Amino acid sequence: MGKMLEYGFLCEAKDEKKLINALLGFLKPLNRTFSKSKNKGMLEARLPYVYRHFYWNLNKEMQVYVEIYPNRDAEGKVKFPHPGVGWVLFANLKDVSGPYHVPLDKQEAYLRDFLQASGFEFVELKEYRDDEERI
């Protein structure tokens, strides 16, 4: 199993650089960074939302994958109608066996620290059920 969650950062769309730089500050001591995806196929996989780009990071040691993208897409569609949410973080926590196993509570603590490092307030927008597809 695992968990899939989406959080909203209470900020403006124009706060992109400030948000990403703060999160890069969290990742740097871990020798990690973000990838900025402008790949057509990866962007098309997020349809019906049309993004110019999004950021992602996979921390294999923690088994946590995150994406950060604007709440309002390039066509003006809002993914989550929560007031004040300018950017959204999607997190996929994996409960895998064997040598890569990381308890979910450790992954959740890592994610909390990651969110808090943003410097912005944040709200949980959605927790997906095990059988539910990501919106």
42-52 tens-digit pLDDT: 999 999 999 99
Q: Which pLDDT does position 96 carry in this prediction? A: 82
* pLDDT over 90 at 1, yes or no: no
Query: Which are the contacts of 70, defined by CB distance < 8 A and separation ≥ 6?
Result: 13, 16, 51, 86, 87, 88
State the pLDDT at residue 4. 96
Looking at residue 65, what is its pLDDT?
97
Query: pLDDT (tens digit, 9 = 90+) per residue, 57-110?
Result: 999 999 999 999 999 999 999 999 999 999 999 999 988 887 889 999 999 999
Q: Is the pLDDT of residue 56 over 90?
A: yes
The pLDDT assigned to 100 comes to 80
CB 4 within 8 A of CB 127: yes
pTM of this structure: 0.94
- Token duo for residue 85: 């949410």
List, in order of start, the domains of the chain with CATH numbers.
2-127 (3.30.160.110)
Quote the percentage of the chain above a pLDDT of 90: 87
